[in-house]
Every structure is written in C-alpha cells, then in structure tokens.
Structure 1
Amino acid sequence: MRRPVGLLLLLLMHGTTYAQKVGKTEPKSFSALIKTIDSLNTLIEDTYVGAPHEGRIMAEHALLLSEKIKYNEGTGCAFLNLGHVYWSQSYYPISLFYFNSALTYLPKNKPLLLAHCYSSIGRAYTDLQNYNKALKNLNTAARFAGQDHKMLAEVYNERSFVYARLKQYDKGIALAKFAMQLSRTVNDQPAICILHSRLANAYRLKGQYTQAIAHSDTALNMSYRVNNKRLRAISFIERAVIYNSLNRYDEAIDLAKKGAALSDSIGVMDGLSSAYKTMTYSFEQKQNIVQSLVYQKKYTQALDSLNATNKRKNTELIQSYFELNSRLNAIAAVEQKTKEYGEKIHLQKAIIITLIIALCIVILALSVTYYHYKQKRILSNRMRKQHKALLIQKELIEEQSVNLAGINSLKDRLLAVIGHDLRTPIGNLHSILRLYNTGVLTDAEVRGLMREIEPVVQGAELTLSNLLEWAGSQLKGVNHEPSAVDIGLIGIEMEGTFSYLFQQKNISFKNKALPGTCVQADERHIKVVLSNLISNAIKFTSNNGVITLLSAVDGNDLIISVADTGNGIPAEKLVSLFNLNTKYTATGTSGEKGNGIGLFLCKELVEFNGGRLWVNSEINKGSTFSFSLSLIGD
C-alpha cells in the first residue's frame, strides 16, 4: 500500500511544481523538480522487483521530467531503472538498450552510478549467455566501484553468477562468500538475500544438496522481508530442482507450481518456463506421462509466448522512443514560442513609443502607418509560405509513415518465413545429435540420416540465402557490380553444386549453354538466379528426369533457359509465380517444400540487371524458365 501512496504523492508534487504557466523556470521550482525526480528514481529501486509495472510507469515519468529540464543525471537514472524493470521481467535485450542509453547520460563524476550501470549490463549479458562481455563489463564496474563495499559486493555477486554458469562452481562459491562478507559490513539485506540464492544454485550444481537446501531456505525467507518477488519465485523453482535431484518429486511439483504462479503474476517469463520444465521432469520421473506431456506443452507455449512478447516489446520500444521524441519536440516548440512572444512584446513596446512620438508630426504618423501596412503584408506572405511548408512536411510525414508500414510488413514476412521454413531442418538436426549423444543411434545410422537430411539442409541454406539477399535488396538497395559473365562456366559450377541432389534422384543435367558467350551483368546475381531455378527444377522433377541449361542469341540479347521434365505448373497459377503477396507454392516430387521467395527474388535480380524473366509450362511435360540479358558489345 505504501508504494502506490508514495507514487501518488510524487505525482502531486510534480503537478504543483508545474502549475505555473510555461515560461522561465524559477530556481526554486527547478530545485524542487530535481528533488522530485531523484525521489522517483530512488523509489523505483525499491519497487521494480515487487511491482515491475508500477516501476516502469514511475521510470517513464522521471525520464520525461528530466528531459524537460535537461537534467542528465535524472535521465540516466531513469534509463537505468527502465533497464532494471525489463530485466526483472526477463526481457534482456530490451534491458540492455536502456542500460547502454543510461551510460550516455550518467555524469562522469558519479563513479558509483557508473559502476551500478556496468554491473547491470554485465548481469544482462550473463542472462544472455555472453559471458565474455559479462566479465568485461563487470571488470569495468569494479574499477568504478573503487573501495565502496556495497558496490564491490554487487560486482562480486554478479561475477559469482557468471562462474556458476561457466561450471566453475568453487570459484563462484568463493566469490559469493566474499560478496556476502562485504554486504554484511554495510547491512545490505537485499544483496545478502540474492547471495544466498546464488550459493544455493552453486551447491546444487555441485551435488551438495544439504548446503543447497540451507541457502535456499534462507533466500526464500529473506525474500519476504525485502519484498523481492522475483527472487522468491526463483527460490521456489530452485528448491524444486533440488528435490528432483533427491527423487522427492511430489515436493518438487508443489514448489514448482508456487514458482510458476508467482512468476506469472509479476510477468517473469524465464521463471514460468523454468517451472514448467521442472514439473515436466518430475512427472516424467513419476511415470505420469499424461501430466508430463501437459507441462511439456505449457513449457513450449511459454517459450513461444516469450518470443512473441519480445517481438511486441521491441515494437513498443520503438513506438515509445518516437512518442518520447515527439513530446520532447513539443516542449521545445513551446519554449521557442515563448521566446517569440517575448520578442513580440518587446517589439510592441517599441511601436507604442514610436506612435507617441509620431503624434507630433503628421508626416511621421503617415510613415508609421505605411510601415505597419507593409509589415502586415510581409507577415501575410510569411504565413502563406509557412502554410505551404507545413503542407510539404505533412506529405513527407505521410510518405515516411507508409515506408515504415512497409518495413514493418517486410519484417513480419521475414520472421514468418524464418520461423516456418528454417525451424524444421534445424529441429531435425538437433534431434539427430541428441539421439547420437545419448547412444540411441549408431554411427552408421547417423551417416544415413545425415545423407537423407542433407537436401533439406541445402534447401534451408538456399532459403536463408534468398532471405538475406531479398532483405538486403529491400532495406539497403541492390548492390550492382556488372562484369562479363560466361553462362557456360556458371553452368559447370552449378552442376558441381547440385551434383549430390542430381544423384539422389538420378537426374541428368545437360549444360548446353553457348561456351565463351558473355553477358553484361552482376555475376553474383546470376548465380543466385540460376541456383534458384535449378533447385526448383530438381524439386519438381521425378527420378530419372532431365534438367537442361540452354542459351541462345536473340539480337543483342542472350536468352538463358532452365528446362526440366517435371510435373509442370497449372496455367492459372503462372500469373502468381512472381508475386510475393499471391505467391504459388507446391510440394516437390520427394515431398520438398518451398516458400515462394526464390522466384520473386529471381525476377527482381534479373530486372535489376536489365533483363526480364518468364516461364512456359505444360502439365506432366515440364517447365522452362527463361530470362534475357544483354550481350557484351564488340
């Protein structure tokens, strides 16, 4: 109850400070506003682990107030607190964005603040499993901490977590105990609570379960005193994992359920997924396959939810960034208007004095009247020009909005294709490796499976190559480096590249391209086009089929064709082959699947090189994809 009341009081203080009209900030109100910002940032430190949503609202408010008065320390602390809020909810990439933003604002003469920020960055990198960067930032934090026991304890605390993750448990335990000594000298109860959790984790991983349970009990009990709900949820789950190791599965399930419920209530997605994973193992060991599958499904859904939430949070982060900029620009505009009003008032005073003097001389009065008339016309012309400039700016903003929508749409399509077409081959490889590592598969069986999965992996590699090429062309523009390209030589290279796939289906490849005949084009682009066309031909050609690469001179152009004896394409589907929005996809003769991006990319690259792409196809007789390129001049 005290936190919401404290937040309300702070907001009222801000309202009182800004009750006056916009104008020059008085020194007294400026000092009061800084005090309000500092109070908000201090309160957030005690709030985010128990109520992250409230902490985020307060941090955003403190950020806006700090930016209004250009209070860099307040801005840096607000960014730091936003990073802590998102870190507490397991959104580590977003937390890193805010921590790094904080570094640009935190004053260089506040080493403890900088140490705290670098320590937080190190912890985020630890959670992202980038331990080299984690240790690098923690070393920087220790340098700024100097001899401050509380800050050094925080750094050694995070170092112990890194070494525990690196399976150097004895070193991690030693660092945690040293951090505990430092924390006790300054009576830092929240830090001591976290260190007990660190020690519980390290002893559990070492298999010393008695010590692990003792430290876990202490961490759990202290979490209530310091109101650290996140640590409490982690402690429940940690104890459940210990009980699983001791074959006390019923107790493990009860604790994991408590950890899951608490994680869900405060939005800690890592805790929720860990709890489901722990219960899956417990029920599996109890031979309760039904419940094990139920929690396995929940675990998978939690991971999918975390990915979806990260995507949504990234979008919200971009929106918040632009919204904040818009509000700050509005503040700057108000300040500019205030300055202009002051100048106008000063001008009006000068005009009044001039008019009083002008009353003595009629000629001077007429001159003044004419002057005002002229000024009015100038102002009118200026307003018309400003109006025209505003219309132009509006059109520019609308165009940028359309471009942004296009980029967002492009991003969504890329993510959808990656998630759909690349997950399966990677998942298959992971399954084969897991079965091999556990001894289920022999070397001979693994070699057989790898031969079978190689075409799928090559297809995934081609899909990834197409995605990268297409995304680069959409976001950065196509990089065009024309040169003399011999199609016959590229055909020889393609025959070697796809030789294994030709052997798999016993397909004959005939390179009938005119030798020594060169076209003017980007060689890399032509290789991408031919690679996609030949890959598609293999996909839709049955065993013992024939694929032919042809070229023929047509005036100043060379016509290059890839013909196959495959299934052919229905006539009504030909118009949708090269359209990404209405793309046509079908299953190959061996069950191969495509995503429709390859042909769309081929069309873009051919047209960029000054040619065109077309197709002729007949059901059950095969298809011929052809494109034209300019010949090298004499």
Structure 2
Amino acid sequence: MRYFTAPELKQWMVASVIIVNLISGRAIGQSIPQYITKLENASTAQEFEKIFGEMMTLFHAGKMPFKDDDVTVIVNIARSKSFSESILPSVYGWAGTMFGNGRMNDAIVYFMESAMLFRKQHKPVGESLSYFEIALIQHKAENYEEAKEYYSKTLAVGKDSLYHRTLINCYNGLALILREQGMYDQALPDFRKAYNIAINKKDTAWIAILAGNIGSIHLREQHYDSSLHYYYRNLALIRNTTETENIIETYAHLGRLYLLMKNYRMSFRYLDSAQFVIEGRKIKFNDFFNPMDYIHESYANLYSDIGDYKKAFEHQSKSHQIGKEKQRLINSRNLKQLQASQAFRQKQSELELLQQINEANIATISQHRYVQIAFCIIIILMSILAYIAFNTSKVRKKLNIELSHSNEELGRLNRIKDQLFSVISHDLRGPIANLQAVVDLYRMGGVTAEQFGKLLDDLNDQIKASGNALENLLQWARTQLGDIKITPGKIVLKDIADRVVTQLKRNLEIKKIAYENQLTADVIAWADKNQVEIVIRNLIGNAIKFTQEGGMIRISGTVHSDGVKLMIEDNGIGMTEEETGKLFHRDEYFTRPGTRQEKGTGIGLLICKEMVVNNGGSIDVTSSKGRGTIFTVTLPREPKNRC
C-alpha cells in the first residue's frame, strides 16, 4: 500500500518566516537574482528571515521557481553570515525539500545538517522532522534499514509533540518495511498503532489507508475473510476522499484476493475496475507510484488459472517490463547499489509459466490422442526452454560481473572511509579538544575572564580553520563518490577572486599581508563557477598560510588561444622540489604547519586538482625554498566540441 509523504509537513522548515511575511502583507514581485542580492546585503538574522520569507511566499504561490544552482547560492550566502547558526536550520531544511525528489543524496545531507543545528538549539520538533524527511527519502529508495533507523529517531526525539500525521507516517512506514521483509507479526502492531491514532483524530483518509494495509497482512497470511473485511472498509471510506491512487490499489488488491480465493468473476471485476479508474481519470504514474506491474501480474495469474496461457504470458511480459523500469528509476537515485535480480526472477517466472503450458498441452493431446502433434510441441517447448536456460546463464554471468564491480566499489568506498576517519581523528579532533580544555579551565577557575577573553581570538581562528578543513573534507569526499555535478558556463575570474578575498580579508589583515589582483574583466573561462571558487579559495588560503607577516600575494591571468591561465603567487616560505612532488598524490597526504603554525588536512590541493581536471584544465606549481610559490591553473575558454 502507498504511504503519504505528508506534503503539508514540507512547510515547517520556513513556517516562521512565511507567517511574518503574510502578517505584513508583503510579497514583492522581484526576480531571484534581486532577492539573492538582498540576502547578500542582509545584516541581521531578522532581515534575512524577512527576505527569505518573501521568497518562500512567492515560491509557494508558483511565482518563483528555483533552479538547483539558485538553491546552492542561497545556502552558501546563509553559511557566510555571522548569524548563520540561527538561520541555517530553516535554509537547510528548505534546500533538502527542494532536492528531495531529484538529488536525493544532497537532500539527505541538508536534512542531516538541519537536524544537527536544531539539536544544538534544543528544538526537538525541528530535529525530529528533519529525521522524518530522511526516513521518507530512504524508504522511497528502498534503503529499508536506514529508513527504519530514521523513522525510529523521529519518534524518539519528537515524542508527543509531533503532528498526528507524522506519527501515523512513522508507524505506517515501519510497518510497511517489516511487511516487505516478511515479518508480519511485527508489522501488524505498528499498523494498528497508526490505525488507532487515525481513528482518535477522525482522519478518514488515513483510516482507509491503514485498513487496507492491515488487510494486506491478513492477505499474506492467507486469512482471506479478515482481509476482505479490512479491504472493504478501506474502499467504503476512501471513496469519500480524493485519494485516487489508494482507490486503484484497493481495487488491485481485491482482485488479487479474489484470485487467491478462486472467485475469478470477482477477481476480473476488481482488476477491471482498477484499469477503468486509471484510464477514465487519465492517471499519470511517477517514480514512486506505478501499480501496473502488480495489476498485470494478477491478470497473468488469473488467465493462467482459467487456462488462457497466451494472455497470461502477455500480461506476465508487461509486468516484467514495468518492474524493470521501476527498478531502473530506483537505481538512478544513486543512494544504493540495488541487486539486479529482476531479470533473473522474470526468467524463472517465464520458465514456470511455459512449464504450465507444456503440461496443459500434453494433457489435451493425450485426451485427443494426437501423439504426433504432442511430440512436435514438446520438441518446440524444449527448444524454447533450452534457449531461455542459455539466456538465464548469460544473465547470471552478467550479475556475477556486476557483483564483482560492486565489491571493487565497496573496497574503494571503504578506503575513502578510512581516510576520512584518519583526517577527522588527527586534524579536527585537536582544535575541538583545545576548545573543551579552555572552557573547562574557565569553569574551574583556572583562567580569569580577562585571560579567557585573550584566548578567544586564537580559539576563533582554530574553529574557522577546523570549519575550512571540514568543508574541504566534505568536498573531497563528494568528489571521491562522484557526487558533484559540473555546470560549466562563462565566468569572470576577477569577480570570483575579489569575492574570495573579501571572505579571507580577516586572515590577510591578521598577518598584515598585502594583496594585489591584476586580473582584468576580459580573463573569462568556461568552467563551473562554484568549483572554480573553491579552487581559488584553497589556493589563496594556502598562500596566506605559508606567507610571513608583511608578505605579498599576487593573482594574475593571461588569455591564450586555447585557454586562460590563472597564477596565484606569494613570496612566502616556499617548498623544495621533493615537497612539491608530494602535493597532488592521491595516496600521500602532504601537509605542514603554516608560518603561524596553522594546520591543514592535506586534502585541499587534491580537491583543487580534481575540480580543475573535471573542468577540462590543469594545475601546476613552481616553488623555491625561502622565495615563494606560484600555482598556475589552466582552464578552457570555450566548451569542448562534441561529436
């Protein structure tokens, strides 16, 4: 049975700012770029939330469609604010909702970040609803264990504060997964919990859905009379709602139920009714709702039972094709390597169906004593079976190859995991431990308030460094997992460099480093804007890190016929030839402290290289010990010609 995605729950992420905007009666019809500029200029959390609320009002009115890049830009703006901690939970939640039906990996990351911030702010309802959204995404992708984990987290954190439909969705979702796993005795209590909540709240739509779900358990346990009772209760209630999808599924399940009861007339009646609703109301199926494979499979079994094997085979083939397409769509979500066993199971079904045909034909031939005809048919059927067996063997070989590739990928992901944990344990745990130690000393009276105040700047620098390290770590992990989408276009390198320097202005001022941007507006490259910004930020950050106080950083560029060159030069401590040779090796993370003992992860330059290469460019370094370093990035000017 289908479970609600509860679209009204999507509103919680931005509810507060939308209410503020509605009360004021303002919904200014400006463009997305204009609103983005206003968000960039917002100086307080209240101002940001007001502007963001206006955007959400227009969005929900269908007057402001956002593209993926717009969402990313708005998230980055929110992250850059000094008051980011108060606005990011809602912004992350909105971003997760925007990516929930497409870029599901990104959606999960945003919801996880939203949950962590809500937990930090002691807002259990917001935290639990973030977990709930993750559970829905994992359930849709058939990642059942992960979905169960987050349904349970939603209930544990939100408890009685949750909206009743959220509670229903959680218990229903857990029961649906247990049902799919064949644990009917565990699924039924959860269905009944959800059912009782729906009855107490007089929620007709959910009473109907859950009655059908309980009926499905009785159906699978072959308690047909009990199953009929609940399905008919479902049907009686659902006809008074707009839940067309549930009506279709209920008809389909009643058709299957009467088939198992050998009441073929009623089975045809309800399967035909499902078809009638689909065709009459012109139902459009989507990635997560398409019952036609189930309906065709029921028809196949029905025709097989009454001896019309030709129609049975036609419906079995249709069921197989739809099932394959549904599995392909689930695989495309890139959340899980699903087992590609649908084709193999279909071949087994066809073999069983052909065996039934063979036995029926032999019986008919024996009855009419057509021995020669029977002999010919047997030969033909054996040939078909041999052909199918041959194809099945090929499918098995293909599955084995795919399994081998999956194992290799699993090994690669495991290595990435080990590398991530290594960096986290060595480079991120230290600053956090320092912060904890200083706070503990302050609490115990080990340092005075004046001494504690003097330590704040150093602690702030450590936290920012840790934040940059974590951002680099996340970007590196995403590149390793192949999760970064490249969206190239024409970009003015001068504008990007100016924006990065603005972000790093404090770092430059602390070390009294002069900065000169010699780039001109005509140095234009064809590349992904966000990735190029990450590259420039890492390279300028490195230059600041390894340049002494009073030093100089210069950025320049040249235009050539086949591309543009971007040079970032410093007069810092430089490197030996042996050290420069270690910079871009994937299996060797080279890092060293900066001129003020700044720490790094050694991953930043790996990210730079991978992003530059992904954009069709290259990166080189020249350095001299004690004299400075020059990083040269080459990027294309125009898109590459495609054949």
Q: TM-score, normalised by structure 1?
A: 0.45
Larger Rg over CA atoms: 1
Q: Which has the higher helix share?
A: 1
* TM value normalised by structure 2: 0.45
